[in-house]
Amino acid sequence: SWTPGAFVDLTVNELKEKIGEDKVVLGLSGGVDSTVAAVLLHKAIGKNLYCIFVNNGLLRKNEFVDVLDQYKDMGLNVKGVDASARFLKALEGKSDPEEKRKEIGRVFIEVFDDEAHDIEDVKFLAQGTIYPDVIESISVNGPSATIKSHHNVGGLPDFMKLKIVEPLRMLFKDEVRRVGKEMGISPKLLGRHPFPGPGLAIRILGDITAEKVRILQEVDAIFINGLREWELYDKVWQAGAILLPVQSVGVMGDERTYEQVVALRAVESTDGMTADWCNLPYEFLQKTSNTIINRVKGVNRVVYDISSKPPATIEWE
Q: Which residues contribute to the annotated binding site for ATP?
A: 29-35
Cα angle 127, 133, 135; round to 5: 130
Contacts of 2 (CB under 8 A, 6+ apart): 175
User: CB of residue 119 vs ligand XMP: minimum separation in angstroms?
Assistant: 25
Binding mask 160-189 for ligand XMP (x = CB under 6 A): ------------------------------
Q: How far is the CB of 292 from ligand XMP (least distance, A)?
A: 21
| Smallest gap from residue 220 Cβ to ligand XMP (A) | 13
250 near ligand XMP, judged by CB under 6 A: no
Nearer to ligand XMP, 15 or 176 (CB): 176
Binding residue count for ligand XMP, defined by CB under 6 A: 13
> Can residue 314 be called a binding residue for ligand XMP (CB under 6 A)?
yes
Q: How far is the CB of 207 from ligand XMP (least distance, A)?
A: 17
SS3 string, the chain, reads CCCHHHHHHHHHHHHHHHHCCCEEEEEECCCHHHHHHHHHHHHHHHHHEEEEEEECCCCCCCHHHHHHHHHHHCCCCEEEEECHHHHHHHHCCCCCHHHHHHHHHHHHHHHHHHHHHCCCCEEEEECCCCHHHHHHHHHHHCCCCCCCCCCCCCCCCCCCCCEEECCCCCCCHHHHHHHHHHCCCCHHHHCCCCCCCCHHHHHECCCCCHHHHHHHHHHHHHHHHHHHHCCCHHHCCEEEEEEEEEEEEEEECCEEEEEEEEEEEEEECCCCCCEEECCCCHHHHHHHHHHHHHHCCCEEEEEECCCCECCCCCCCC
Least distance to ligand XMP, CB of residue 196, Å = 3
Contact pattern from residue 87 through residue 116 relative to ligand XMP, giving x for each residue in contact according to CB under 6 A and a dash for the rest? --------------x---------------
The reply to whether 63 sits near ligand XMP by the rule CB under 6 A is no
Please identify, among the stretches 1-9, 139-147, 194-202, 291-299, the one whose residues bind ligand XMP according to the rule CB under 6 A: 194-202
Beta carbon of residue 199, minimum distance to ligand XMP (angstroms, whole number): 9
Which of 272, 284, 303, 304 binds ligand XMP (CB under 6 A)? It is 272
Q: Give the x-and-dash track for 13-42 against ligand XMP (CB under 6 A).
A: ------------------------------
Closer residue to ligand XMP (CB): 203 or 301? 203
Using CB under 6 A, pick the residue from 94, 102, 150, 173 that binds ligand XMP: 150
> What residues make contact with ligand XMP under the rule CB under 6 A?
101, 150-151, 194, 196-198, 238, 272, 309, 313-315
